[in-house]
Amino acid sequence: MDSIRTLREDELEDSIQVTATAFHVPLDEEQVNERKRILDPNTIIGLFYQGKLVSKLSLLPLHIWLGGEMFPMGGDCLCRNIA
């Protein structure tokens, strides 16, 4: 294992291809571009082996609504020292 770190913007396409390969979902160029547009590389942690992205983990912010107010939950609470 070489490194585990958040992705850079220029690694988003590699991330999309890792997901497509893992789930056997072929994507055309338009679908790849759409995903690149909506993904935030700061929320994706990648495992790099010999400089190549081989696995990834996407962190999704989770929130709940209580009494008309939004509260963070899950990992988001821990990362922001809320819980």
Predicted model pTM: 0.73
Q: Domains, the chain, ranges and CATH?
A: 3-79 (3.40.630.30)
4-60: per-residue pLDDT in tens? 999 999 999 999 999 999 999 999 999 999 999 999 999 999 999 999 999 999 988
Which residues, in sequence order, are CB contacts of 60 under 8 Å at separation 6+? 43
Which amino acid, residue 9?
E
